[in-house]
Every structure is written in structure tokens, then in C-alpha cells.
Amino acid sequence: MRRMRRVKILATLGPASQDPAVLARLFEAGVDVFRINMSHASHDGMRERVRAIRALETQYGRPVGVLVDLQGPKLRVGQFADTGVELVKGDTFTLDADPTPGDARRVHLPHPEILRALRPGHVMLIDDGKVKLRVVEAAPDRALAVVEVPGRISNRKGVSLPDTEIPVSAMTPKDRSDLDAALNEGVDWIAVSFVQRADDVAEVKKIARGRALVLAKIEKPQAIARLDEIIEMSDALMVARGDLGVEMPLERVPGLQKRICRMARRLGKPVVVATQMLESMITSPVPTRAEVSDVAQAVFEGADAVMLSAESASGQFPVEAVATMNRIAEEVERDPLYAGIIAAQRAEPERTGADAIAHAARDIAETLDLKAVVAWTASGSTGLRIARERPTVPVLALTPHREAARRLCLAWGLHPVVTEDARNGDDMANRACRTALDEGFAKTGERVIVIAGFPFGSPGATNNIRIAFVGQGD
């Protein structure tokens, strides 16, 4: 099951993909990590899907990643007496703390924290931006707004607040319950929604205590303003273009995608590009040409992973969507321009011994045209350092910990393999060569470069580099 591409594919599970037979076809088509969206999954449903993925892992003998995506706060208007009203441009409309059903002049906003945070001039977007209001008067129990973009507001439609920092945690009671259930099930990644500040990520990491890595979804303007500190706190990032494109001008999203991808790579954090990548394949067996270009652009940018949402969760062609994304990625990575674009984005290594070793391994492998970099990694950190370098040769990440191998399924270019830890330097080199041979990365007589840390099993202690011949002494 060796992938012939470096970028990874993340696919969301749902009604269209929960059958074990479909799950297997998705994996064969190219899925590296499966996403379970807790906005639509119960605890029992989540557990059932995790177990099906673990069974798939056993069936194919390959690590498979599992990401659980927490719902986060859902901000919505209340109920209307007649299910909804039509707002006219220039009219005023009030959102208040009164639970009485709404009418053409007002509606309940069951979020006192929003009413306290709103200020004159702040924009309120209803139903994914279909209706736009601007606050003209604000009080702790009500906000008077003028209608700038007219339309219909109906019961329980979502509210987005691009100008307002809401003093609430990204974790609701539902999220805490979902997080506990996911951690108990041994998932590999937790995605945090509604991130506004680094503390939102820190809160989840404190609960996880290393049992899963934490991915921050960048989907709010407030997160863009604090991007440096959020990236520093997170284990990985997601460019959540759907919500980002609602709360910010659409034309800014492509530039932000590039900025986030490059910042994450510079710090060695995996980055996922998500939302509407092959949206038309929800109902069509082939994508639009624009969607193909969109996926290709993310691959050219050096993203660690590209994600399918409704395409694989509820679409009519989930396997075809994965196969299409796989073909696009393979073709881009064969393009003569690809290697040069990726190399041009390289940053200087961090001033640590482990980063210097990773940088040197990539340089040596490319200079000598070696067949692979084989990295021994206990926690996965050495694998991520090599992925940051974006070498042109394949990378095998050997680890004695299945949890580390599963987490590395999200990182660019890594082919994780679970094996017992090396006993000494010769065993380190010999088994690296044997694995490269067995996994189809090198042939007898060819060379690989092996990196590891002494003493073995010490996280972050990468301090050894060695060139080895496959088939000689292994």
C-alpha cells in the first residue's frame, strides 16, 4: 500500500462511507487519515467508526490515522412566530435577550455573551452570510442593527461575527464530553473548532495530555490576527476555508491559505487545506476544471494534506472523489516545476542538533541520489523534522510505537512503519535497509541514508546519521 505521492489525503466519514466495504475501497483509493465530524456523530457512532478503521489497519497491515473534529460553539438566532421573516435593506432589526418568538422587528439571540461583546459598527452575518446586519446601538441585553444585505432569516439560523471577539471558550460541554470519548477510544488527532486564541488550543492539549495531537482549525478573523501564537501552540493546522470565507472577504482566502501553509511549514507543523475541494463530486462523478486546479494549487503549495468533507461523507461518489484527488496529487508531483517550487519555499533549519541532522540528511540524500531517507523516530518528532525539509527522495519513518505511526499519516511524504526499536547501531542500519527493500523503496545494492538518536527510544534525541547499502550486512 505504498502511496506514489507525498501529500496526504484526509477523508470525512458519513452515511456514504460508513460501510466497512466502502471504507476499504476508500483506503485503497488513497485515504491516509479518516475524519469523524462530531457535529454529526454520536459517541457510539464515533466508536463504531474508529473500530472499523482499526480493523482496516489490521487487514492491510498499514497504520491509518483517525482525526476527531470537535463541533465547537454553534451561535444561532432563536425561534420566530411564523418560522421566519424577510428583512428589507435599510430596515432596522433587533436581536435581544427576550425568549419570546421573533417577528419582523426582532428575534431572540440566546447567547448573552454575544450581546455583551457587540459594539456599534460590528457586522453580523446570518445563515453563512446570506443576510448582513450592522450594529448601530448595543446594550448588554439587546443590539439594534441595520440591514445591509437583505434576505430571509428563519428559525435557528447560524450567526457569524467577523468583528467581534467572543469571550467564550472554544470548548462547549458537548465538546468536553466528545473529547473524553475520543481520547478513551485512542484517536490520533483532535481538531479544535472556533479557535480565537492560543489558549483555546492549550485548553484541549491540557485535557489530552499527549494522548492525541491537537490540530487548530483556522476559520475566524480573530485567529488570523494571532496566527503566530496559535501555530506555536498547535501540533498541526487546518485552513478551514468554508467558515473563513464567510467571516472574511472571499478574495482574501487564497492569500491566507498560502500564508498559513508557509508559516506552518517553517515551524514544522503539518497543515491541511480543507473545504469544497471537489464539491461538485457530491453529485457528479467528475469534478470541475476549477476544482482540479484548486487541489493542484494546494499540492504545489506544499500542504501536508488535502481534505474531502461532504464529498466522502454524504456524496454519491465518495470513492471516485478520493481516487480523483489521488490522481491530481500524483500528476502535480510528477510535474517538472513541482520540485523547484517546493525547494524555493525551504526555510533555514532551527538551531538544534536534531534539525541540523534532518537538514543534512535531505542534503546528502539529494546530492548522492540516495533512494530513501529512513528515520528512526520514537515520538514522531524526527519524522516531522524530515517532512519539514520536503526532500525529493522518499522518507520511511520507523517507530516502535503504533500511535506515533498513526499520527505521522498526516505529515507530508512520510511512509510510517511500525517495528521494534533498534538494539544497536548495526541493527539500526540493517533493519532500515531491510525495511526499505521490503517496502519497495530500494533494491539490493542501492543506498539509503539512516538517521536516529542515541540512546534509542529517547524522544527528540536525533544525533546520528549514516549511509548504508541495501543488501550488504542487513
Candidates 275, 399, 435, 462; catalytic one:
275
Q: What is the mean pLDDT of residues 272-279?
A: 97
pLDDT score recorded for residue 458:
64
Q: Is pLDDT of 65 > 90?
A: yes
Three-class secondary structure assignment of the chain: CCCCCCCEEEEECCCCCCCHHHHHHHHHHCCCEEEEECCCCCHHHHHHHHHHHHHHHHHHCCCCEEEEECCCCCCECCCECCCEEEECCCCEEEEECCCCCECCCEEECCCHHHHHHCCCCCEEEECCCCEEEEEEEEECCEEEEEEEECEEEECCCEEECCCCCCCCCCCCHHHHHHHHHHHHCCCCEEEECCCCCHHHHHHHHHHHCCCCEEEEEECCHHHHHCHHHHHHHCCEEEEEHHHHHHHCCHHHHHHHHHHHHHHHHHCCCCEEEECCCCHHHHCCCCCCHHHHHHHHHHHHCCCCEEEECHHHHCCCCHHHHHHHHHHHHHHHHHCCCHHHHHHHCCCCCCCCHHHHHHHHHHHHHHHCCCCCEEEECCCCHHHHHHHHHCCCCCEEEEECCHHHHHHHHHCCCEEEEECCCCCCHHHHHHHHHHHHHHCCCCCCCCEEEEEEECCCCCCCCEEEEEEEECCCCC
205 is catalytic: no
Q: Is pLDDT of 179 > 70?
A: yes
pLDDT score recorded for residue 9:
98
pLDDT score recorded for residue 473:
47
Candidates 76, 134, 142, 346; catalytic one:
76
Q: Is pLDDT of 348 > 90?
A: no
152 is catalytic: no
Q: Is pLDDT of 255 > 90?
A: yes
76 is catalytic: yes
Q: Is pLDDT of 455 > 90?
A: no
pLDDT band at 459 (very low <50, low <70, confident <90, very high): low
Q: Is pLDDT of 54 > 70?
A: yes
Instruction: Give the pLDDT confidence of 401-429 residue by residue, as tens digits.
Output: 999 999 999 999 999 999 998 888 899 99
pLDDT score recorded for residue 175:
97
Q: Give the residue with greater pLDDT, 461 vs 401.
A: 401
Average pLDDT of the residues of the chain: 95
Candidates 5, 6, 35, 447; catalytic one:
35
Q: Is pLDDT of 472 > 60?
A: no
pLDDT band at 132 (very low <50, low <70, confident <90, very high): very high
pLDDT score recorded for residue 474:
47
Q: Is pLDDT of 347 > 90?
A: no
Q: What is the mean pLDDT of residues 1-21?
A: 95
pLDDT band at 456 (very low <50, low <70, confident <90, very high): low
Domains of the chain, start order: 8-72+169-335 (3.20.20.60), 84-160 (2.40.33.10), 353-469 (3.40.1380.20)
pTM for the whole structure: 0.94
176 is catalytic: no
pLDDT band at 460 (very low <50, low <70, confident <90, very high): low
pLDDT score recorded for residue 167:
86
Instruction: Give the pLDDT confidence of 279-337 residue by residue, as tens digits.
Output: 999 999 999 999 999 999 999 999 999 999 999 999 999 999 999 999 999 999 999 99
Candidates 217, 385, 390, 407; catalytic one:
217
